[in-house]
Structure 1
Amino acid sequence: MSEDGTPHMKRRRFLQATSALGLAGAFGGVASATPGRNPGPKEDEILVGVAQGRDSPSDVVESAVPGNARIVHENKTLSYVAVQFPSDASETARENFIDAVTKKDRVKYAEQNATHQTLLTPNDPRFGDQYAPQQVNADTAWDTTLGSSSVTVAVVDTGAQYDHPDLSGNFASNPGYDFADDDSDPYPDVLSDEYHGTHVSGIAGGVTDNGTGTAGISDSSLINGRALDESGSGSTADIADAIEWAADQGADVINLSLGGGGYTSTMKNAVSYATNNGALVVAAAGNDGSSSVSYPAAYSECLAVSALDPDETLASYSQYGDSVELAAPGTNVLATTTEARGSYEQLSGTSMATPVVSGVAGLALAQWDLTNTELRDHLKATAVDVGLSSDKQGSGRVDAANAVGTEPGSGDGGDGGSGDSTTTTASGSLSSSYDYDDYSYSWSYSGPSKVVVELDGPSDADFDLYVNTGTTTNASPSNYDYASYTTDSQESITIDNPDDSTAMQVDVDSYSGSGSYDLTITEYK
């Protein structure tokens, strides 16, 4: 219904996406392995380096290879070959070959194909007491990246002790803002009582490999929006303001280890604002053990996180439901706490699971250039199935090694799909608060994995977006399956595994004002 109560009986535009497939990027510059060559250590091989010339490395080395050995691999770019000896060949035979082959013209060296192992076990003295980083394979990811200070993780929480010896190296020079007390210092008022934000910060971004305390998941830049007081409580307004502030600071990831209060438009608008401004909002599913996810995690803009016990079963306290997208360790997680409480302690809750995901997101952004939508998909696509139902684990347990080591869009993992997508855009204009446009979108793929509907409207008006799926009934402000209605005209709706039994119905509605808009629909195979 429109605002004056009259039914929506406007024109209906039919959209069919044109072919605009965006195939996932193939791995570039990686040489394929020689057929029959197993991965892992190759202790029976000798590598022979050959000076560049018109002949291939194999041509130069071949005549020196004894009858019981063979060339099994050649890299022309680096100009070397691998010569494999039988496993029962003596060390003397290999040494004789090295001596002989290095006498040949153009042979630069010959050496054992040595075995290398990952070396980074952080020197944080209490790393051995932790399990969460190891469970999500952060220690493997650290061999590629510890994170980047160019990635910002905002923790909206209680105050954080940003001068903690295991946090100060990662907190930004301007550590944040206090929305609870309305001042520029987010430091806790009572260090013995106000420790939650320090613990959450330490899980996501405690300094790794600094010889102090514990290891955080990523060495991202941390900022703190203090929106909860020493009792652990805070108003919707303070939290919403802190989320908006974090987005305005350019936060790449916003961590919300908080919940309660039910659905509010203010909070919904805050997380929509942050999402529309490029932040990934990660939120705790809740701790009352019920089969529905609490707000703000239940907003579609938020990535909801459930908590696992150390054995990767769902924690008894963790809420769950269809909104859960990822799971992470949340029980007895050791991390920084305020120095008044002993500097380090174990805490449990979906509050602890959430910054694990935020930290992994920081690691992924240090390795890959991703939008918040792409990052969300990538974390889900690289998650590990731990054998729980989807309403308890979502796409699975977040995995740092996969998130860092898997090229986004490669098709590996659960929700990544093939990486194929198609996009269509329609432009229109609305003349007043009584005006709206209805669209019917015909699907391009059978069983699409996801669809994203985005509205870009005038800055001086308030346009809203409504969507119906699985029906031929027009969407409207009074009849919709999905909606985005912030206080501006920048709206976005993401639907995973949409119902494609009928065309999707889309309504662009003017709540107030007039002007032109662009409607973009991106469908993923």
Structure 2
Amino acid sequence: MADNTNVTRRSFLTATGAAAGSVALVGVSAGESDDPWNSDRSEYIVGVSNVEDDPQQHVEQYLQGQEQVGSVQERLNTAVVGLPADAPESVRKQFVDRLESRDTIKYVEQNVELQAQLVPNDPRFGDQYADQQVNAPEAWDTTTGDAGVTIGVVDQGVKYDHPDLDGNIDRSVSNGGRDFVDDDGDPYPDSLNEEIHGTHVAGIAAAEVNNGNGVTGIGNSSVIAGRALSERGSGSTADIADAITWAANEGADVINLSLGGGGYTNTMQNAVTYAANQGALVVAAAGNDGSGSVSYPAAYGGVLAVSALDPDESLASYSNYGPKIDLAAPGTNVLSTWTADDYESISGTSMATPVVAGVAGLTLAQWELSNAELRNHLKATAVDIGLSDRQQGAGRVDAANAVNTDPGSGGGGGGGGGGDSTSSSVSGSLRGRGDSNCWSFSYEYSNPSQVVIELDGPGNADFDLYANTSTNACPTTSSYEFRSWTTGSQESITIDNPDTSVDLNVLAYAYSGRGDLTVTVTEYK
């Protein structure tokens, strides 16, 4: 959690909340007061089981001599206990053993001082909380990002000459993007007073880190802007879908969709499926209705849906939620770049989404991952903040975990799986419209976090992909649980937490054309 630092009477972390580095046992300088906490102390953090709701009172009953509780972190149910700095090692060990012998004491560990390895020189970093809440500063000790990683911002126009954005705009694309509203090559906002959303979103993901200016984004990824929303904040399905496919064709590794509404459309589903097939991870806002269903495009299969958190890591009152939520991120009062070359705070799932997109970009600066692997790695390394799966998905996205956890290690603290995967493939052919093949796949993992089904067919045909996971029967074109139905023969279906009590049944169907095909099923732990 963002507030997992135990601060005693001597604050042992800088106000910036910067990254962890070398450690030292906390000791408080001697003073003239009789208060024992003003003399040198050796500090230990005592974690108390949540069955005890008053950690200070609970710990104090086990203390002896000059041992004393200095502070309490109620959300973590911990207490900081001080011992005299000159206490011999035998006394320290006796203290630890005495407390750890209690069933209600989860752990006892030294309270160490964390020294920043990178404190960004951006003057308003201390005014931000979202970066710290997702532990970006700790990730920056490993990498601040890579210009070779591209985030496509499909939104309103982006003020690409903002002094905190201009260094991270991808100049290999004319003007850093394209305008799909006015159908021209300049994604600059039409009205700087009204059209602020895209600039704010871009800054959350990728305002320049450590440039001596303003704020920090999550990382130094490159940004390309697809202006698909006008100064009024709305855009057509066609313009948005065009911007998504354009961003994918321009090589975007991550595509940020801080937009929603309008319900299901095949056009938008196909656009995000196309982007996924091009290798992009599509990240979208869950919606701001406060309802129990996720808005489109976040609800489409294969899109990573993001809910919004308040600074205390509760679900924001405006945030949509539901079974399609993948990750949560800070979205309330997020400070970022503004079109007047300054900075403002606004709220919404629109703000939470680029936090996740920025973490995804930062992760790709460290690890070479496919979009499916990246999606699962972000979920595997997310932090469970105590909300329901419908509210947080796999948990709150965590930059430090994502950057510093080897995707092949099976590590991570979230509910998205351990990063391992296994694949199997079958080949076949379809002879023309109406022809189909059906296969049954047995699961290799007992409880995979996700299954990705991919169809690779000929470029001159239109093959579709259908799947059933909870019915032990081959799907049909009129009776199915999942479908990928683009206009081509590159199809992909993503299924989270599939039912493994029955086999996975997959149908390839020729809508038109003929030719050979391969179906690949990949399971992720």
- In which range does the TM-score fall when normalised by the shorter chain? 0.7 to 0.9
Q: Tell me the secondary structure at the aligned position of residue 452 of structure 1.
A: strand
Q: Tell me the secondary structure at the aligned position of residue 353 of structure 1.
A: helix
| Distance in 1 of aligned mates of 2:316 and 2:462 | 42
Please list every run of 5 or more consecutive structure 2 residues that lacks an aligned counterpart in the other structure.
1-21, 27-84, 88-112
1:249 corresponds in structure 2 to: 250
2:170 corresponds in structure 1 to: 172
- Kindly indicate whether residue 455 of structure 2 is the aligned counterpart of residue 451 of structure 1: no
Cα offset for 1:440? 1.6
Q: In the TM superposition, what are the counterparts of 1:18-33 in structure 2 within 5 Å?
A: none
| Distance in 2 of aligned mates of 1:422 and 1:265 | 30
Cα offset for 1:416? 5.1
Q: In the TM superposition, what are the counterparts of 1:22-421 in structure 2 within 5 Å?
A: 40-41=23-24, 117-173=115-171, 174=173, 175-339=176-340, 343-412=342-411, 413-415=413-415, 417-421=417-421
- Preserved contact between residue 409 and residue 416 of structure 1 (Cα < 8 Å): no
Q: Which amino acid aligns with 1:398?
A: V
Q: Tell me the secondary structure at the aligned position of residue 392 of structure 1.
A: helix
Instruction: Using the TM superposition, name which of 422-431 and 461-470 deviates more.
Output: 422-431
- Preserved contact between residue 155 and residue 223 of structure 1 (Cα < 8 Å): yes
Cα offset for 1:419? 4.3
Structure 1 residues 459-514: Cα deviation after superposition (integer angstroms, max 9, x where no partner): 00000010011222220111111111111111111212211222221111011111
1:49 corresponds in structure 2 to: none
- Preserved contact between residue 206 and residue 214 of structure 1 (Cα < 8 Å): yes
| Distance in 1 of aligned mates of 2:86 and 2:506 | 70
Cα–Cα, structure 1 residues 189 and 419, in superposed 2: closer, same or farther, change >3 Å? closer
Q: Tell me the secondary structure at the aligned position of residue 169 of structure 1.
A: helix
Please list every run of 5 or more consecutive structure 1 residues that lacks an aligned counterpart in the other structure.
1-38, 44-86, 90-114
Q: In the TM superposition, what are the counterparts of 1:483-502 in structure 2 within 5 Å?
A: 483-502=483-502
Instruction: Using the TM superposition, name which of 473-482 and 290-299 deviates more.
Output: 473-482
| Distance in 1 of aligned mates of 2:137 and 2:415 | 24
2:39 corresponds in structure 1 to: none
- TM-score in terms of structure 2 length: 0.77
1:66 corresponds in structure 2 to: none
- Kindly indicate whether residue 512 of structure 2 is the aligned counterpart of residue 522 of structure 1: no
Q: Tell me the secondary structure at the aligned position of residue 523 of structure 2.
A: strand
| Matched residue count | 420
Instruction: Using the TM superposition, name which of 251-260 and 122-131 deviates more.
Output: 122-131
| Distance in 2 of aligned mates of 1:132 and 1:417 | 24
Q: Which amino acid aligns with 1:180?
A: V
| Distance in 1 of aligned mates of 2:309 and 2:158 | 25
- Preserved contact between residue 180 and residue 227 of structure 1 (Cα < 8 Å): yes
Q: Which amino acid aligns with 1:513?
A: G
Q: Which amino acid aligns with 2:455?
A: L
Higher relative contact order, structure no. (Cα contacts within 8 Å, ≥ 6 residues apart): 1
Q: Which amino acid aligns with 2:192?
A: L
- Preserved contact between residue 377 and residue 415 of structure 1 (Cα < 8 Å): no
Q: Which amino acid aligns with 1:343?
A: D
Cα offset for 1:143? 1.4
Q: Tell me the secondary structure at the aligned position of residue 379 of structure 2.
A: helix
Structure 1 residues 329-350: Cα deviation after superposition (integer angstroms, max 9, x where no partner): 00000100101xx621111000
Higher Cα radius of gyration: 1
Q: Which amino acid aligns with 2:501?
A: S
| Distance in 1 of aligned mates of 2:251 and 2:301 | 21
Q: Which amino acid aligns with 1:166?
A: D
Cα–Cα, structure 1 residues 411 and 217, in superposed 2: closer, same or farther, change >3 Å? same
Q: Tell me the secondary structure at the aligned position of residue 120 of structure 2.
A: coil
- Preserved contact between residue 381 and residue 405 of structure 2 (Cα < 8 Å): yes
| Distance in 2 of aligned mates of 1:517 and 1:202 | 42
- Preserved contact between residue 376 and residue 524 of structure 2 (Cα < 8 Å): no
Q: Which amino acid aligns with 1:169?
A: G
Cα offset for 1:422? 3.0
Cα–Cα, structure 1 residues 133 and 439, in superposed 2: closer, same or farther, change >3 Å? same
Q: Which amino acid aligns with 2:409?
A: S
- Preserved contact between residue 132 and residue 329 of structure 1 (Cα < 8 Å): yes
Q: Which amino acid aligns with 1:288?
A: D
Cα offset for 1:418? 4.6
Q: Which amino acid aligns with 2:447?
A: G
Percent identical: 66
1:16 corresponds in structure 2 to: none
Cα–Cα, structure 1 residues 142 and 448, in superposed 2: closer, same or farther, change >3 Å? closer
Cα–Cα, structure 1 residues 419 and 331, in superposed 2: closer, same or farther, change >3 Å? closer
| Distance in 1 of aligned mates of 2:150 and 2:337 | 19
Cα offset for 1:119? 2.7
1:100 corresponds in structure 2 to: none
| Distance in 2 of aligned mates of 1:380 and 1:164 | 32
Structure 1 residues 220-254: Cα deviation after superposition (integer angstroms, max 9, x where no partner): 11110000000001000000000000000000000
Structure 1 residues 383-421: Cα deviation after superposition (integer angstroms, max 9, x where no partner): 111110001000111111111111113222334535443
Q: Which amino acid aligns with 1:363?
A: L
Cα–Cα, structure 1 residues 218 and 420, in superposed 2: closer, same or farther, change >3 Å? closer
1:57 corresponds in structure 2 to: none
- Preserved contact between residue 384 and residue 398 of structure 1 (Cα < 8 Å): yes
Q: Tell me the secondary structure at the aligned position of residue 470 of structure 2.
A: coil
- TM-score in terms of structure 1 length: 0.77
Cα–Cα, structure 1 residues 420 and 232, in superposed 2: closer, same or farther, change >3 Å? closer
Q: Which amino acid aligns with 2:353?
A: T
2:504 corresponds in structure 1 to: 504
Name the Cα RMSD after superposition.
Answer: 2.0
Instruction: Using the TM superposition, name which of 312-321 and 435-444 deviates more.
Output: 435-444
- Preserved contact between residue 292 and residue 321 of structure 2 (Cα < 8 Å): yes
Q: Which amino acid aligns with 2:122?
A: D
Q: Tell me the secondary structure at the aligned position of residue 505 of structure 1.
A: strand
Cα–Cα, structure 1 residues 449 and 218, in superposed 2: closer, same or farther, change >3 Å? same
Q: Which amino acid aligns with 1:176?
A: G
Structure 1 residues 168-196: Cα deviation after superposition (integer angstroms, max 9, x where no partner): 01111130000000000000111100010
1:423 corresponds in structure 2 to: 423
